[in-house]
Amino acid sequence: MKKVQFKSNYSQYFFLAPQLLILLIFLYWPIIQTFKDAFTMQDAFGFGSQFAGFDNFLFIFSDPSYFTAFKFTIIYSFVITLITGSIGLLLAVQANKVMHGKSAYKTLLIWPYAIAPAVVGVMANYFFSERYGLLHHLFNNLWGFNWYENVFDAYIYVIIAGSWKQISANFIFFLAGLQAIQKTVIEASIIDCKSNIRRFWTITFPLLMPTTFFLIIINITYAFFDTFGIIDTTTIGAPGSETKTLVYKAYIDGFKGLDLGSAGAQSIMMMIIVLVITIFQFRYIEGKIHYN
Amino acid sequence: MTKYISSTINHFILSIGLLIMVVPIWIIFASSTHSSLFINTNGLQFFLGDNFIDNYSRVLFKQSGFFNEITALKMFFNSFVMATGIATLSVITSLMAAYGLVYFKVKYATFIFWLIFITLLVPLELRIMPSYIVMSKLNLVNTFAGLILPISASAIATFFFRQFYKSIPDELLEAAKLDGTNSLRFFIDFLIPLSKTMIAAVFIFMFVFGYNQYLWPLIMTTSEQYWTVVMGLKTMYGSISDRFAFVIMSMIPPVIIIIFLQKLFIQGIFQNK
């Protein structure tokens, strides 16, 4: 790694050992177990099991509710990324411009970032409850809102709950990105281009590209994994299985349904998806985009 | 004049942003200061009521849960132990591992590197069921070790520290070597003081991450003695204003940390960019 290093036969392993030990026991062991489960068929009571080849995978591919979860997860990540990214960017650009009250705005816009998704879900629950819910009443007056029967309404519910706190994360990183752009670049561009809006899209936004790509990945991972707490405290997947994310479905099938084989196969499919996203990330973020 | 107008527009847009981010929490807070009876008849409230002390002290000290074995105060204690444990363990193991990777010649270095970083692809959510089985085999269900260890098994911090070490000039080690400093002394006397900001940022990040865990404590704690705040929210029984008060209290620790340490946190993000 470094040109100058320590020469030693054993000290490096002393430094590596604690982390490797924890990873081996608490990460690799369960992962190996996941692969074992995925290729095993177990009877419902856990008494017997046998090697099943790809049967568990064939089973999830023939299961329409897996595709429902797949479709929902894709839509959910796309919409959350779009909403939180654009609102976060809009607010960051404004906050970067104002002379007065910058730090007050910053503090007040940042802090929802710290709130747990499950807590956000519980809060959303109140705003969408039939009894007290302000948003429920508002939407109900507009078009007859009913999230436990209408798929579109359930989508609105989980999208609002899922986007809210993520706006803060996007705001923080876009603001950091904007502040990293050198003043001289902006000053030079003011001479060349008078229009604020054109200058933003031709100069500032391309300079923010690394931040944008980074945030796309962050938002997708958030929508895939962190929204578990939100789904579990809001719709619980209703109506039917329409708002189950892939992670939520794997949990329900494995933990509640005790179908370890199917849950294992679903986990491995998710690992493949994450792998693809990560390769994409390394390709584009680490490799191609380096403006600063 | 145009400058004045454009700055007014900036403030206007920011104020709408503030409304979206702050008003929902304000409404829950205001509602938490009314009696349940009042909420049940009048719905969510914008203005403060006068049951603040009543509601909050009742929630904090009252036995709750299915078997009435736990108070909110105990849940906060559990959450703190869990979050501090996760943050401390991740910082220490990651600092050490990154040091081993960057400053030494390691046999099978590429293999070990991938062994560590491939774990970034497998968040806890993907191995939740087998993790539970492993923990029960190790008799760690309903223990703090069980809550802490699997979540500390993450290489994200190692990645940050590794990037940071690589940015430190080689001359530092050369100079230290001339003085005859050994590897442990170099680590403790030079690298750790240099990484202070990074350490603080990673600690804050992991603390909030640990405090906000929901699924893992839900699975790992069959005894109410080990319930944490965030998972307790869903399972807590009580009147509606009790629940509002608990929601507000549950977000106070991580929010305070982020507000007061935001400079440190953002600096940490910057250093590794």
Output the pLDDT for position A289. 52
Distance from C-alpha of B109 to C-alpha of A180, rounded to nearest angstrom:
34
pLDDT confidence tier of residue A160, bands split at 50, 70 and 90: very high
A40 phi and psi angles, rounded to 5 deg: -125, 145
Compare CB distances from A2 to B20, B102, B112 and report the shortest one's residue. Answer: B102
What's CA B3's distance to the chain center, in Å? 41
Minimal Cα–Cα distance from A16 to chain B, Å? 4
State the CB neighbour count (10 A cutoff) for residue A268: 21
Cβ–Cβ of B266/A172 closer than 8 Å?
yes
Q: Is A206 on the interface with B (CB under 8 A)?
A: no
**Structure confidence by residue, pLDDT tens digits, A44-60:** 565 667 787 788 888 88
Indicate the range of A22-26, B93-97, B106-110, B142-146 predicted with least confidence.
Answer: B106-110
Mean pLDDT computed over B65-90: 86
Per the prediction, chain B carries an average pLDDT of 86
Is the predicted pLDDT of residue B68 greater than 80, yes or no? no
pLDDT confidence tier of residue B273, bands split at 50, 70 and 90: very low
Is the predicted pLDDT of residue A292 greater than 60, yes or no? no
Distance from C-alpha of B187 to C-alpha of B95, rounded to nearest angstrom:
9
pLDDT confidence tier of residue B265, bands split at 50, 70 and 90: confident
Mean pLDDT computed over A3-20: 83
Predicted complex: ipTM over 0.90: no
Distance from C-alpha of A136 to C-alpha of A129, rounded to nearest angstrom:
6
Minimal Cα–Cα distance from A99 to chain B, Å? 8
Mean pLDDT computed over B119-134: 85
State the CB neighbour count (10 A cutoff) for residue B171: 9
Distance from C-alpha of B192 to C-alpha of B152, rounded to nearest angstrom:
20
Is the predicted pLDDT of residue A120 greater than 60, yes or no? yes
Output the pLDDT for position B237. 64
Cβ–Cβ of B21/A3 closer than 8 Å?
no
Chain A interface disruption, residue of B127, B229, B263, most A CBs within 10 A: B127
Minimal Cα–Cα distance from B171 to chain A, Å? 9
Q: Which CATH architecture has domain A76-288?
A: Orthogonal Bundle (1.10)
pLDDT confidence tier of residue A261, bands split at 50, 70 and 90: confident
State the CB neighbour count (10 A cutoff) for residue A77: 21
The pair of three-digit structure tokens given for residue A64, joined into one six-digit string: 């329409």
Does residue B107 lie in a domain region?
A: yes
Q: Is B131 on the interface with A (CB under 8 A)?
A: yes
A18 interaction partners in chain B (CB closer than 8 Å)? 92-93, 96-97
Compare CB distances from A15 to B96, B152, B208 and report the shortest one's residue. Answer: B96
Does residue B268 lie in a domain region?
A: no
Does residue B35 lie in a domain region?
A: no
User: What is the count of structural domains for chain B?
Assistant: 1
Please name which of A169, A187, A165 lies closest in space to residue A177, comparing C-alpha atoms.
A169
Minimal Cα–Cα distance from B228 to chain A, Å? 12
pLDDT confidence tier of residue B57, bands split at 50, 70 and 90: confident
Segments forming the whole domain that contains residue B116: 65-237
Nearest-by-CA chain B residue for A164: B21
Mean pLDDT computed over B84-104: 93
Cβ–Cβ of B120/A278 closer than 8 Å?
yes
pLDDT confidence tier of residue B223, bands split at 50, 70 and 90: confident
**Structure confidence by residue, pLDDT tens digits, A168-197:** 999 988 998 888 888 788 778 888 777 778
Is the predicted pLDDT of residue B270 greater than 50, yes or no? yes
In A113-152, the residues whose Cβ lies within 8 Å of chain B are 113-119, 122-123, 126-127, 131-134
Cβ–Cβ of B250/A119 closer than 8 Å?
yes
Q: Is B167 on the interface with A (CB under 8 A)?
A: no
| High-pLDDT (> 70) share of chain B, % | 94
Look at the block and give the residue holding tokens 């099938």: A253
Nearest-by-CA chain B residue for A92: B14
Is the predicted pLDDT of residue B180 greater than 60, yes or no? yes
Output the pLDDT for position B58. 82
Per the prediction, chain A carries an average pLDDT of 86
Mean pLDDT computed over A129-153: 86
A5 interaction partners in chain B (CB closer than 8 Å)? 103-105, 173
Nearest-by-CA chain A residue for B174: A4
Output the pLDDT for position B271. 55
Is the predicted pLDDT of residue A88 greater than 50, yes or no? yes
Output the pLDDT for position A291. 47
CATH classification at residue B74: 1.10.3720.10
Indicate the range of A56-70, A115-129, A240-254, B167-181 predicted with least confidence.
Answer: B167-181
Nearest-by-CA chain A residue for B247: A119
Q: Are B119 and B154 in contact (CB under 8 A)?
A: yes
Please name which of B221, B211, B203, B200 lies closest in space to residue B83, comparing C-alpha atoms.
B211
Output the pLDDT for position B65. 60
Cβ–Cβ of A229/B214 closer than 8 Å?
yes
